[in-house]
Chains A and B, each alone.
Chain A
Amino acid sequence: MAKNSPLVRLQAEIFDPAKEYNQFLKQNTGAGGAAICFTGLVRSNPDNPIVKLTLEHYPALAQRQLEKFANIAFERFKLQNISLIHRYGAMAVGEPIVQVMTISAHRQAAFDGANYIMDWLKTDAPFWKIEQSAKGKNWVENKACDENAKHKWKTD
């Protein structure tokens, strides 16, 4: 059986979440018994509707960090496969920003792997959101809860 390795894709273009997930599932070598797909979407704010979200990024470091988190998750949770897509540039409300897909023999590892990647990516991958609303442009501030979430994965 061919062995899969984590795939990381950075792109400006929109992607079709279902199509990506189906493609990911098709790569199952047969050893995978549990697959997870998490999709992060552009969220509006009822009190101040978002017209556009723009993600600035540091390309070389972003690619490197995403690969690092995917590779760590792959080894640590003994996953069969990982695929991670993250967008940058301008996007509209409701569009997908990020999608992480994991597959493992049993479900806990697949859940944990996806969760681990998202927790680290929120605070340690160089992307910055700017929200555009009727009131103007606003750099999104980081949340303390995101900063805390990754620490639950510390092993030492």
Chain B
Amino acid sequence: MKILYFAWIKERLNRSQDDLELPKNINNVNELMAWLESNDEQIKLAFENKELIRVAVDEELVEHDFDITNAKTIAFFPPMTGG
């Protein structure tokens, strides 16, 4: 699965993406975030304030309880500041 990072999350992690094989017991965004945090100290820091983290699954904005069992790309980013 492809994981993308944007804005200050990308900056803190010092990379814009990961290609990861997820364990089978990970079914939604919350579980993925917890798993990423448990494997990476930098992600744990970046995800410290979870309600700030926005998520897109296969180019669609979703909530943290969204099912990701068939997802190909998951993006994590801070609140958007366009316009």
Residue contact B61 to A124, C-beta cutoff 8 Å: yes
Interface presence of B25 (CB below 8 A)? no
Q: Count of B residues near A, CB < 8 Å? A: 16
**CB contact between B56 and one of A58, A139, A147 (< 8 Å): that residue:** A58
Give the residues in chain A near B7, CB-CB below 8 Å.
56, 128, 139
User: Counting chain A CB atoms within 10 Å of each CB, which of B7, B59, B82, B83 scores highest?
Assistant: B82
A122 to B56, CA, bound (A): 16
Residue contact B80 to A123, C-beta cutoff 8 Å: yes
Residue contact B83 to A118, C-beta cutoff 8 Å: yes
Chain B binding site: helix, strand, loop or mixed by DSSP? loop
Interface presence of A97 (CB below 8 A)? yes
Give the residues in chain A near B82, CB-CB below 8 Å.
55, 57, 62, 86, 98, 121-122, 125-129
Give the residues in chain B near A121, CB-CB below 8 Å.
82-83
Give the residues in chain A near B80, CB-CB below 8 Å.
122-128, 142
| Count of inter-chain pairs, beta carbons less than 8 A | 71
In which size bucket is the chain A interface? 20 to 34
A141 to B75, CA, bound (A): 19
Chain A binding site: helix, strand, loop or mixed by DSSP? mixed
A128 to B79, CA, bound (A): 8
User: B46 to nearest A CB, angstroms?
Assistant: 13
Interface presence of B35 (CB below 8 A)? no
Give the residues in chain A near B14, CB-CB below 8 Å.
none
A64 to B77, CA, bound (A): 16
Chain B residue nearest to A121 (CB atoms) is B83
Give the residues in chain B near A56, CB-CB below 8 Å.
6-7
> Chain B, 4-26, contact with A by CB distance < 8 Å: what is the 0/1 string?
10111000000000000000000
Q: Do A128 and B61 form a contact, CB below 8 Å, given A61-B56, A98-B83, A118-B83?
A: no
User: B18 to nearest A CB, angstroms?
Assistant: 16
